[in-house]
Amino acid sequence: FQIKTKFPDNFLWGGATAANQFEGGSNVGGKGLSVSDVYYFDEDIPKEQLSNQWLKMTRKQVEEAQDPTIKKYYPKRHGVDFYNHYQEDIALFAEMGFKAFRMSIAWTRIFPNGDEQEPNEEGLAFYDRVFDELNKYGIEPVVTLSHYEMPLNLVTKYNGWVNREVIDLFVHYATTVFERYKGKVKYWMTFNEINSCKHHPYVSLGLIDEDHLHLEQAKYQGAHHQFVASALATKVLKEIDSEAKMGCMVSYTLFVPYSCAPEDFQKTMDRQRDALLFSDVQVRGYYPGYTARLLADRNVVLKMEPEDEQILRNNPVDYVSLSYYMSSAVSAQPENLEGAIGNLLVGGIKNPYLPESAWGWQIDPKSLRSALNQLYDRYQKPLFIAENGLGAVDTLEEGDIINDDYRISYLREHIKQIKEAIADGVDVFGYTSWGCIDMISASTNQISKRYGYIYVDQDDMGNGTKRRIKKQSFYWYKHVIKTNGEQL
């Protein structure tokens, strides 16, 4: 036996983005509106309430967003204009030595309303240009089919993923891009953070809260349809390109018991399973034994078609990808923990041993090692870390200097733990840190919550030159990649 003390030679170092936060150009090239294009930003919204519209969406907001007479600033329609800067941005990624670049295809660039028969050629041609540019530098694209950007029409006309018809529309979209980009894209993922539909069902499943009296029922039904769609897409991918790999993508917060009371331990396991259910189905190809109880506790009765079981079983994913930002404590009696509630967007329990970011996300590199071990012990399939990073306020100093030591320290500590996990025997084949270039925050719609190695001169209201400026972390990450993670 030999302990692996190094990252594998072909390790996929890189960065991650999503079309709806990065690309912009929402009114060009025939693109339609997506669910994310309805989020507006307004400087008067108090900071602590910014993520509320992400967690809950009203029909009135959706209607307003389609009314041209209402003048609001919708940041995700503009992103940071990768649409027009893609050559410059990819050249910067190449300068850092990226081996991989995770991005998503905007479904609405290919099928503006989601239910057309024929794809939009201009949209397809845009991604051809992007993939060719990446290929020029030997950067492997890792492509998510759906990253919080389903066509808005599928929400207003079909009611989102609760409607089974959306499965066929998604598979049609997936088939179109698999055929078009065969040979150009090897690594695919179906749904970004598929388990996060539990917390923000609008952006993940296209569910407007007030339309669903039993929202939990709608969420699990929608998720089931995504499982079937993901399995069918995996099947089609293999038929089109037997070399290509499909991954699932889960948001993996590691849960730890707040105390050593057995009740806290049980509750922690339940909370973890809440997320694991989503990878279990996609990796193993069947619903795990704890599903019946989990659904019954939520009063949910799933409607499945006779063929679904076989579809899931025959088409599991090839690899498991995850986003990891933090851990969270779990208590069976949170009401006794005054002042501790508040970790995570969804009110997890704060762990008193951990520091937190300016947005209240607790920082816990060591639990990344545990998370990787948990997932690998469970599935024995290769793991890909699709997201990890620190959202922070950066200051642009005179002479174009951005000293983001805090970001370097966050990333360094997490990468050290990946190395530990590799020494534990875990098969990790890539790491794409989140927001390798500043872009619009998913949850708060700010750009001032920055994650990048590259600063973009733009403010929360979209003002600025959009000039790209290298931060200190740019040079640091370049060296990390050059030394294959040996020098951190």
Whose structure tokens read 């992007």?
A: 130
Among 248, 276, 442, 447, binds ligand BG6 (CB under 6 A): 442
Minimum CB distance to ligand BG6 smaller for 181 or for 324: 324
Q: Which of residues 312-351 bind ligand BG6 (CB under 6 A)?
A: 323
C-alpha 255/C-alpha 328 separation (Å) is 5
The amino acid at residue 250 is V
Number of residues that bind ligand BG6 (CB under 6 A): 14
Q: Does residue 193 belong to the site contacting ligand BG6 (CB under 6 A)?
A: yes
Closer Cβ to ligand BG6, 18 or 402, answer by number: 18
Least gap, CB of 50 to ligand BG6 (angstroms): 9
Among 122, 165, 193, 338, the one annotated catalytic: 193
Stretch that binds ligand BG6, among 28-36, 175-183, 239-247, 435-443 (CB under 6 A): 435-443
Q: Of 245, 449, 468, 471, which one interacts with ligand BG6 (CB under 6 A)?
A: 449
Active site (annotated) includes residue 193? yes
Shorter beta-carbon distance to ligand BG6: residue 100 or 312: 100
Residues from 4 through 33 that contact ligand BG6 (CB under 6 A): 18, 21
Q: Does 37 bind ligand BG6 (CB under 6 A)?
A: no
Among 441, 458, 460, 462, contact with ligand BG6 (rule: CB under 6 A): 441
Which residue, 161 or 258, is less far from ligand BG6 as judged by CB? 161
Of the candidate spans 123-131, 293-301, 436-444, 473-481, the one that interacts with ligand BG6 by CB under 6 A turns out to be 436-444
Among 120, 153, 331, 443, binds ligand BG6 (CB under 6 A): 443
What is the closest distance, in whole angstroms, from the C-beta atom of residue 21 to ligand BG6 in the complex? 6
Q: Residue of minimal CB distance from ligand BG6? A: 443
- Between 278 and 434, CB nearer to ligand BG6: 434
**Which of 194/281 has CB closer to ligand BG6?**
194
Shortest distance (Å) from residue 193 CB to ligand BG6: 5
State which residue, 232 or 456, has the beta carbon closest to ligand BG6: 456
Packed helices 366-379 and 405-423: angle between N→C axes, nearest 10 degrees:
40
387 binds ligand BG6 (CB under 6 A): yes
Select from 405, 329, 319 the least CA-distant residue to 367.
Answer: 329
Q: Minimum distance from CB of 251 to ligand BG6 (Å)? A: 6
Catalytic residues: 193, 387
Residues in contact with ligand BG6 by CB under 6 A are: 18, 21, 192-193, 251, 323, 387, 391, 434, 441-444, 449
